[in-house]
Amino acid sequence: IVFMGEIRFGFELYCIRLLKLKGIKLVDIVHDVERYDTSRNQKSILKEQRSGQGRFNLIYKCFDALFVHGSYSRQKFLELYDVAHHRVHQIPMGTSELFLEEVPACTSEKMKHILRIPEDKPVLLFFGTLNKYKGVHDLIEAFALIRQAHDAHLLIAGFPGKDIDLDALEQGAANLGITKHIS
């Protein structure tokens, strides 16, 4: 079994078909059901759906199982791609039962100490790849409004995508006067 984490390019179809010819079972987690434009100077968030849509339909048909995040993503995936319903599985987003079963490797108090965040401050967490389509710029602007009402801290944990200008993000936070409340 080959478990893929992301299919980005239509030309990957050739490699995927080769694996199928070898009798290998293929599984993929489709993190982004719709194809987002992550080029630095994009005009819209979504890529033109027709460009590459047919190629991705062929790619996804090769997989024995596909996983998506949540019921909305499963429904959207099945609308966009001609893949057998029984091959598309939804991963439920975090449940309280899952988190109650796990013993944390580090307490929130210890993590706040490591990150130099005062213990009494609530923390807003952004976790994941920083891409424009996820609204990181909007999050920083919204956080400035939150800071007017609450003494909170914004923790951004993730690697910037190629469409993110870190200097522009930092300058935006500085212009809003919230730099020291973000890590």
Q: What is the pTM of this model?
A: 0.61
What is the pLDDT, as a whole number, of residue 159? 87
User: In terms of pLDDT, which residue wins out, 121 or 133?
Assistant: 121
Distances (CA, A) of 2 to 41, 55, 88, 136: 34, 20, 16, 33
Helix locations, the chain, DSSP H = 12-21, 53-61, 70-80, 96-101, 108-114, 136-149, 166-176
- Classify 18 as helix, strand or coil: helix
Residues 63 and 6 sit within 8 Å (Cβ to Cβ)? no
> Phi, psi (5° rounding) for residue 163?
-95, 5
CA atoms within 13 A on the CB side of 24: 13
For 158: left if phi > 0, alpha if psi spans -120 to 50, otherwise beta; the answer is left
pLDDT in tens, 36-53: 555 556 655 455 555 567
Instruction: Indicate whether 27 pLDDT > 80.
Output: yes
pLDDT in tens, 84-126: 999 999 987 765 555 566 666 778 888 888 888 888 889 999 9
